[in-house]
């Protein structure tokens, strides 16, 4: 397939724990982006990491990029119930395609 | 509030109806997109418009007809739909594309939930 693929498909954790989700892509990228989608709502952009960056932070979010493995990971630290959502990666090089996402459930 | 507004938020229509979905962005962007999100399926890109010109049509059936009268507005005209077309339709916008490529993020609307009876 053309799109980035997220792994795992579903993740259930307790509030306060860290959540890690991964994304693999097929070809070279210009940059890679992570989005969050609350159930039945639009996607919200979280963070962009460029192909020449290896790690990026934004609040409780940490994104890493390994271009040699064509993979990225999103870490959410000290998770909250409000983090319950689906998370998607998107690599611009493949023109706007998304994977199936990781469905994160944070239990209070 | 993302700056991208979709109306209506919910729509129920019969298979013989004609309806339209509307998307408006107030972000000064020049590229707009339609995506379809069905239950348990990945987001499907449908159409891309760049500076009002259609640049992508992802093999979408002709019962879906997009229209982009200017860079701020995007419509999806619906005609003779099937029950399997029931889905969440998401509009997005971004800075204009250069050489077909985008360098920044997508801004999404809240979606129009379509049910076809």
DSSP annotation of B101 reads B
With CB atoms and an 8 Å threshold, state whether A44 touches B2.
yes
3 state SS for A26-64: CCCCCEEEEEEECCCCCEEEEEEEECCCCEEEECCEEEE
- Inter-chain touch B105–A48, beta carbons under 8 Å: yes
The reported pLDDT for the residue numbered A31 is 86
Q: Which residues have a Cβ under 8 Å from the Cβ of B16 and sit 6 or more positions away?
A: B80
Query: Is-contact B60 B40, C-beta < 8 A?
Result: no
**Mean pLDDT per 10-residue section of chain A, whose length is 108 residues:** 74 97 84 92 94 95 94 96 95 72 95
Does the pLDDT value for residue B4 go beyond 90? Answer: yes
- The answer to whether A101 and A6 are in contact (CB under 8 A) is yes
Where does residue B52 rank: exposed (0-12), middle (13-18), buried (19+ CB within 10 A)? Answer: middle
Q: How far is B81 from chain A (nearest CA, A)?
A: 21
The alpha carbon of residue A2 is apart from the nearest alpha carbon of chain B, in Å, by: 12
What confidence tier does B109 reach under pLDDT thresholds 50, 70, 90? very high
Render pLDDT for B71-86 as a digit per residue (tens, 0 to 9).
999 999 999 999 999 9
Provide the number of CB pairs (under 8 Å) joining chain A to chain B.
Answer: 58
Which pLDDT band, with edges at 50, 70 and 90, does B42 fall under? confident
> Which of B14-18, B28-32, B100-104 reaches the highest mean pLDDT?
B28-32
Mean pLDDT, residues B74-100: 92
Mutate one of B7, B44, B105 to test the A interface: name it (highest A CB count within 10 A).
B105
B67 Cα to chain A: minimum distance (Å): 19
Q: Are A45 and B43 within 8 A, CB to CB?
A: no
Residue A7: what pLDDT?
Answer: 86
């Amino acid at each position: 397939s053309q799109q980035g693929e997220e792994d795992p498909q579903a993740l259930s954790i307790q509030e306060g724990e860290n959540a890690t989700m991964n994304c693999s892509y097929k070809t070279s990228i210009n940059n890679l982006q992570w989005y969050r989608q609350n159930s039945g709502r639009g996607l919200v952009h979280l963070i962009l990491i460029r192909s020449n960056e290896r790690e990026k932070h934004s609040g409780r979010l940490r994104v890493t990029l390994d271009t040699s493995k064509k993979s990225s990971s999103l870490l959410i630290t000290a998770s909250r119930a409000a983090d319950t959502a689906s998370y998607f990666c998107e690599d611009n090089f493949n023109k706007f395609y998304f994977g199936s996402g990781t469905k994160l459930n944070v239990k209070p | 509030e993302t700056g991208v507004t979709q109306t209506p938020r919910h729509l129920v229509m019969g298979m013989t109806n004609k309806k339209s979905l509307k998307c408006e962005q107030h972000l000064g962007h020049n590229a707009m997109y339609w995506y379809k999100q069905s239950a348990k399926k990945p987001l499907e890109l449908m159409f891309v418009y760049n500076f009002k010109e259609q640049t992508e049509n992802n093999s979408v059936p002709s019962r879906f007809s997009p229209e982009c009268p200017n860079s701020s507005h995007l419509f999806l005209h619906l005609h003779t739909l099937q029950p399997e077309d029931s889905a969440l339709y998401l509009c997005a916008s971004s800075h204009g594309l250069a050489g077909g490529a985008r360098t920044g993020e997508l801004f999404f609307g809240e979606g129009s939930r379509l049910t076809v009876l």
